[in-house]
């Protein structure tokens, strides 16, 4: 039995008190992964951005809103976990300036400068101890395999799940599970629940160590 951290859902980066930039993510994959991990007898803690999806009752859920909050909470919880699965779609840009008051319309264009937010999975990957593992997701619209392997290396992941943009907000998905050497360990397609079951089986066999 392992304790597994799952990041799930989108995050929001505010421009002013009412407007924000976000990513398309329903949290369905995170919920399906959590259910699959629980079925295998693991403990699950989910760090989730704002979603409408219901997470399984057996999972502990910590709600966050911004990428910085997701990083802070996930970073803290990761120390007590054997592994982390990055299924969230954290918003990776934030406005350089956040207005305290609502920005009034002027009739003209609004020019906003965005800067990058921290990468949650890459930070966990850098932090991980020898007895911990990190699995990332790479959603690509082209060169899926190659780009996923580049991300696996850059984010210090142990395995990477490569999927296409068709997965966004969809009930079904199609993924490949990649090893650091580029080997395709599994190709899975079907409902997110079925794919999550398949992924967790692979993660369980390849990465989960019994608690000492
Ligand atoms: O670079 P890209 O966003 O495509 O990488 C996707 C992977 O990185 C996913 O596992 C996602 O959860 C994670 N990620 C993250 N923090 C970000 C951006 C992506 O954890 N700011």
Higher-pLDDT residue of 86 and 170 is 86
> How do residues 31-52 score in pLDDT, each as one tens digit?
999 999 999 999 999 999 999 9
CB 6 within 8 A of CB 31: no
Dist. CA 69–CA 115, nearest whole Å: 16
Atom of ligand 1 nearest to the CA of 88: 12
> How do residues 16-32 score in pLDDT, each as one tens digit?
999 999 998 899 999 99
Known active-site residue 163 = no
% of residues, the chain, pLDDT over 70: 98
Split at pLDDT 50, 70, 90, the class of 210 is: low
Q: Is the CB of 125 under 6 A from ligand 1?
A: no
Of residues 23, 99, 163, 169, which has the active-site annotation? 23
Q: 167 pLDDT exceeds 90?
A: no
Query: How many angstroms does the Cα of residue 151 sit away from the middle of ligand 1?
Result: 9
Average pLDDT of 109-127?
97
Max Cα-Cα span within the chain? 64
Q: 209 pLDDT exceeds 70?
A: no
Q: Which of 162, 164, 99, 90 is nearest to 124 (CA)?
A: 90
Least confident residue range of 15-29, 75-89, 169-183: 169-183
Average pLDDT of 115-129?
97
H/E run at residue 147: helix 144-154
Average pLDDT of 72-94?
97
Residue 114: C-alpha distances to residues 69, 80, 98, 155, 191 (Å):
18, 34, 10, 22, 35
Which residues pair with residue 43 across a beta bridge? Answer: 3
Indicate the SS3 state at residue 173: strand
Dist. CA 74–CA 16, nearest whole Å: 25
Nearest residue by C-alpha to atom 8 in ligand 1: 121
Rounded to two decimals, what is the model's pTM?
A: 0.95
In the chain the domains, ranked by start, together with CATH numbers, are: 3-96+111-206 (3.40.50.10300)
Q: What count of other Cβ atoms lies within 10 Å of the Cβ of residue 199?
A: 27
Which residues pair with residue 164 across a beta bridge? Answer: 140
Split at pLDDT 50, 70, 90, the class of 212 is: very low
Dist. CA 67–CA 50, nearest whole Å: 11
Atom of ligand 1 nearest to the CA of 161: 10
Dist. CA 81–CA 196, nearest whole Å: 19
Indicate the top mutation candidate among 9, 88, 157 to test ligand 1's pocket, ranked by most ligand atoms within 8 A of CB.
88
Atom of ligand 1 nearest to the CA of 120: 20
**Burial letters 52-85, b for 16+ CB under 10 A, else e:** eeebbeebebeebbbbbbbbebbbebbeebbbbb
> How do residues 43-78 score in pLDDT, each as one tens digit?
999 999 999 999 999 999 999 999 999 999 999 999
Nearest residue by C-alpha to atom 7 in ligand 1: 137
28-39 vs 192-207: helix crossing angle, rounded to 10 = 50
Split at pLDDT 50, 70, 90, the class of 170 is: confident
């Amino acid at each position: 039995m392992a304790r597994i951290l799952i990041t799930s859902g989108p995050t929001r980066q505010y421009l002013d008190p009412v407007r924000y930039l976000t990513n398309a993510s329903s949290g369905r994959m995170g919920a399906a992964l959590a259910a699959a991990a629980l079925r295998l007898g693991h403990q699950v803690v989910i760090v989730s951005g704002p979603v409408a999806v219901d997470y399984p009752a057996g999972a502990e859920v910590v709600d966050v809103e911004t990428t910085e909050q997701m990083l802070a909470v996930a970073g803290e919880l990761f120390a007590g976990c054997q592994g982390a699965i990055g299924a969230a779609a954290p918003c990776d840009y934030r406005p350089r300036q956040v207005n305290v008051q609502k920005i009034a319309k002027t009739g003209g264009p609004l020019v906003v400068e965005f800067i990058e937010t921290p990468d949650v999975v890459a930070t966990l990957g850098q932090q991980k101890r020898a007895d911990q593992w990190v699995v990332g997701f790479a959603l690509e619209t082209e060169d899926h395999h190659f780009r996923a392997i580049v991300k696996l290396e850059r984010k210090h992941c142990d395995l990477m799940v490569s999927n296409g943009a068709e997965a966004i907000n969809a009930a079904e998905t199609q993924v490949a599970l990649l090893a650091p050497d580029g080997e395709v360990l599994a190709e899975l397609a079907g409902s997110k629940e079925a794919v999550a079951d398949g992924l967790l089986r692979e993660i369980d066999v390849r990465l989960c160590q019994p608690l000492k």
